[in-house]
Chains A and B, each alone.
Chain A
Amino acid sequence: DTEVTQTPKHLVMGMTNKKSLKCEQHMGHRAMYWYKQKAKKPPELMFVYSYEKLSINESVPSRFSPECPNSSLLNLHLHALQPEDSALYLCASSRQGASPKLFFGSGTQLSVL
């Protein structure tokens, strides 16, 4: 199993809503990542978890709250988002070590109204 599964595939939410994005992998990877990708732009790193602990937060606003309940799951909790937060949110996982190979999910296309 070399898949990273993200749900939902599409999400539309209002600025007062609370929603969560979910990501799951069963490759035994101990590093998991959240990226944000705007249309026609490269992915931008948001968070990195290493062995279920947050190791990198790229100065992401607190309206995005990551959570890693166990080594296979990664969540991104969303609250009070802005329209400019509309983007494709990608989850990835990798082994630890030099030059890690990132396995990406298909992403959640988020629209904030």
Chain B
Amino acid sequence: TQLLEQSPQFLSIQEGENLTVYCNSSSVFSSLQWYRQEPGEGPVLLVTVVTGGEVKKLKRLTFQFGDARKDSSLHITAAQPGDTGLYLCAGARSSGDKLTFGTGTRLAVRP
């Protein structure tokens, strides 16, 4: 059973377009993280959100944690080819609990 479902699974867009990736669960998480993984590399942490309703911005990336702490979204404005990669959400159901990774969203941004 996959606790964290991401959508879409795959997204191919043109440079300059906006996009949103969703991470959904029926479980409550004490914290949620977003990672980006490029081919041939390990995932790199982008952000951690811990408070329901929290919004964090990282340049053109906006992350939101749902009010009920069951879901999260990642919005990218004006996507660039350098944004290409596998985006993974990962959640911990309680403090100190192991991380569970989401199903992943593979993003391709065409020049």
Interface residues on A, range: 20 to 34
A56 neighbours in B (Cβ, 8 Å): 98
Question: Is B95 on the interface with A (CB-CB < 8 A)?
Answer: yes
How would you classify the secondary structure of chain A's contact residues: helix, strand, loop or mixed? loop
Given A42-B88, A42-B102, A48-B98, A99-B42 contact (CB < 8 Å): no
Tell me which of A61-69, A75-83, A103-111 binds B.
A103-111
Contacting A105 at CB < 8 Å: which of B30, B42, B48, B95? Answer: B42
- Which residue of chain A is the closest to B91 with respect to CB atoms? A99
Question: Is A32 on the interface with B (CB-CB < 8 A)?
Answer: no
- Which residue of chain A is the closest to B42 with respect to CB atoms? A104
List B residues at the A interface (Cβ < 8 Å): 30-31, 33, 35, 40-45, 48, 50, 88, 92, 95-96, 98-99, 101-104, 106
List A residues at the B interface (Cβ < 8 Å): 4, 40-45, 48, 56, 90, 92, 96-107
